[in-house]
């Protein structure tokens, strides 16, 4: 089976919400890809006591499993984090990324990934754990499922998470999904894409023997940070934070300027690679004709349609597309 479909799936899935401070719209579209590998979280009133909202894009690769795990568990890991409870948001976000990655890389996490994908359409699967010769065996409807099958799960995902607490924006990023702020009509990156060619990333990768060629690590992944991707995090001589690919997010912090800041666009690389960043922000801004009434999900849908490639011979516009548009209420 090829990477692309014979014709794109342009059906869009959306959700939206608002409170006194924010309006948001989320939209995703499978496009030309054989499957949808993106996932997201949108929690407008994530923690009412702390006045927090939480949004995130998880762009999967090698399957949707890691992105689905991130979607399912990120909130639980964050809200239980002691630093989050104390209000230390930057530390809490970093710890949440790392702890979630440890779970994804664990056997328990891999079994959960298998369950999420294989039980999605077939709820008949029954999972039974048997201990034989100190090995954790799994049977599905009495058919043996070996640990070697779990090792075949090599999925990973980006994670770009935005936590808004009162008038402070925290952006935690791992990978090449991106958050851009529209301020007085201009786009400003609140996250940096993690590519192997970046000097600080290259130094870490080459230090442990990795090779960067054509923008990829060991002829594999074109990202230097991600969740999942166990095949690039298996050097026993180095910690999780020193591997070829690491789950450690960069975190930025910004105070909202009510008179200047208009909206955030949180999106996978399938959005940012089609037009320049400023062209994308300008397109979105022009479509928001009424800040209180414009359907933000339709704005994103129009952006997707504009970016969609006419055919798969084009370099860009063939990827999954997912984005969250967060509008600041003035």
Provide the 3-class DSSP secondary structure of residue 306. Answer: helix
Predicted local confidence at residue 145, as pLDDT: 54
Averaged pLDDT, 177-204: 97
With bands split at pLDDT 50, 70 and 90, how would you rate the model's confidence at 134? very low
pLDDT at 114 over 50: yes
**What does the pLDDT look like over 196-244, one tens digit per residue?**
999 999 999 999 999 999 999 999 999 999 999 999 999 999 999 999 9
pLDDT at 142: 45
| Domains annotated on the chain, with CATH | 15-105+155-328 (3.60.40.10)
The predicted structure's pLDDT at residue 150: 63
Q: What is the pLDDT of residues 135-146, one digit of tens each?
A: 455 554 444 555
**CB under 8 Å, gap of 24 or more: what pairs does 275-283 form?**
275/306, 275/307, 277/180, 277/187, 277/189, 278/186, 278/187, 280/180, 280/187, 281/180, 281/182, 281/185, 281/186, 281/187, 282/185
**pLDDT exceeding 70 applies to what percent of the chain?**
88
Residues in the chain: 330
259-268: average pLDDT: 97
Confidence of residue 153 (pLDDT cuts 50, 70, 90): confident
Q: pLDDT tens, 307-320?
A: 999 999 999 999 99
Q: Which two tokens stand for residue 9?
A: 């799936």
Q: Is the pLDDT of residue 94 over 60?
A: yes
Nearest to 326 by CA among 1, 19, 10, 13: 19
CA nearest to 7, candidates 34, 32, 36, 28: 32
Average pLDDT over residues 280-297: 95
CA dist., res. 328 & res. 47, Å (int): 18
């Amino acid at each position: 089976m090829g990477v692309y479909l014979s014709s794109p799936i342009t059906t869009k899935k959306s959700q939206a919400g608002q409170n006194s401070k924010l309006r948001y719209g989320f939209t995703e579209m499978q496009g030309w890809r054989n499957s949808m590998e993106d996932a997201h979280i949108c929690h407008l009133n994530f923690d009412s006591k702390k006045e927090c909202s939480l949004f995130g894009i998880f762009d999967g690769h090698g399957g949707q499993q890691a992105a689905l795990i991130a979607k399912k568990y990120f909130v639980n890991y964050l809200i239980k984090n002691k630093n989050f409870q104390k209000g230390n948001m930057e530390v809490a976000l970093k710890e949440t990324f790392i702890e979630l990655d440890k779970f994804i890389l664990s056997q328990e996490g891999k079994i959960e990934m298998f369950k999420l994908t294989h039980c999605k359409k077939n709820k008949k699967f029954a999972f039974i754990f048997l201990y034989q010769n100190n090995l954790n065996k799994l049977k599905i409807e009495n058919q043996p499922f070996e640990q070697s099958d779990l090792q075949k799960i090599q999925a990973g995902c980006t994670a770009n998470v935005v936590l808004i607490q009162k008038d402070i924006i925290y952006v935690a990023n791992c990978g090449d999904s991106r958050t851009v702020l529209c301020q007085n009509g201009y786009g400003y990156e609140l996250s940096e894409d993690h590519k192997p060619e970046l000097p600080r990333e290259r130094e870490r990768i080459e230090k442990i023997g990795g090779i960067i060629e054509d923008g990829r690590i060991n002829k594999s992944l074109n990202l230097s940070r991600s969740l999942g991707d166990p095949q690039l995090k298996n050097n026993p001589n180095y910690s999780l934070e020193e591997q070829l690919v690491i789950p450690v997010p960069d975190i930025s912090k910004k105070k909202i300027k009510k008179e200047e800041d208009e909206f955030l666009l949180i999106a996978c690389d399938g959005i940012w690679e089609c037009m320049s960043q400023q062209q994308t922000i300008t397109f979105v801004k022009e479509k928001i004709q009424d800040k209180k009434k414009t359907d933000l999900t339709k704005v994103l849908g129009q952006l997707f349609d504009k970016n969609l490639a006419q055919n798969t011979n084009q370099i860009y516009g063939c990827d999954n597309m997912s984005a969250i548009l967060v509008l600041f209420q003035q």
